[in-house]
Amino acid sequence: MIKVKDTLGIISMIIFVITLSIAVTIWFIPLYQITIQTQNIPESLGLTYDKLMDNYYALLQYLHFPWIQELNLPDFISSENGLLHFFEVKLLFYLNYSVLLIAFVSTFFYLKFVKRTGRIWVLIKPFFFASLIPPVLLFFLAVNFDSMFVSFHQIFFNNDAWIFNPATDPIINALPQDFFMYCFILFFILIETSFILGYQISKRKAFKTSK
């Protein structure tokens, strides 16, 4: 029974780290601000920086708030395929936040259980092995981000609506591929940092309780 609790608890912790890192990456607005400023995106689109940010905020609000059921970008038109893709992204965001909430609750109670039973040492190996994965993924990202980007969309979307035509969905010009690459990098850095901290903290606490 304890082994089952450990397995489910550790899985919950890893899922919690992943979904939280996704949420933080989504809401890390400075990443978009830096991207459009360094690549002169507002100038290339004939918009001011503030106007472009207004469109980005409108997109974020649509993707997050259930009561906003239609995507209306102030300065960009959208095709049916474009609207379909953003709707599917909205559903994925909701799925991520739902799993994040469940994983948080499960992780909270599992950590209380581990602390109460004095078995913090069981967390050391899972965090250690989990910390080996992000560097490998970052390597593949650095070698060929294009293939990784395409594979990502093929896994999470069962259509090609994500392939935007700038003529019918000009918003794609405001979302350069480099921005998504930076998002992936930030995501991997966040989960790697979380796993390393988890490993160091569990190792330190386990050592203290063994004394």
116 domain residue, yes or no:
yes
SS3 (DSSP) at 146: helix
211 domain residue, yes or no:
no
Report the chain (211 residues): mean pLDDT per 10 consecutive residues.
86 97 97 96 96 97 96 95 96 98 96 89 93 90 87 91 94 95 95 95 80 56
Alpha helix stretches (DSSP H) within 28-144: 29-38, 41-45, 49-64, 80-116, 124-130, 133-143
Domain count, the chain: 1
The residue segments making up the domain with residue 132 are 1-206
Residue 144's pLDDT is 87
CA distance 39 to 114: 48
The closest alpha carbon to 59, from 84, 90, 19, belongs to 90
CA distance 14 to 35: 29
Residue 194's pLDDT is 96
The model's pTM: 0.93
Contact assessment for residue 198 and residue 54, using Cβ atoms and an 8 Å cutoff: no
CA distance 206 to 150: 42
Instruction: Match 């903290």 to its residue by tokens.
Output: 201
186 domain residue, yes or no:
yes
200 domain residue, yes or no:
yes
53 domain residue, yes or no:
yes
Contact assessment for residue 76 and residue 173, using Cβ atoms and an 8 Å cutoff: no
CA distance 158 to 155: 7
182 domain residue, yes or no:
yes
Residue 3's pLDDT is 82
Residue 210's pLDDT is 59
SS3 (DSSP) at 5: helix
CA distance 169 to 162: 11
Backbone angles phi, psi at 131, to 5 degrees: -70, -15
Residue 118's pLDDT is 86
23 domain residue, yes or no:
yes
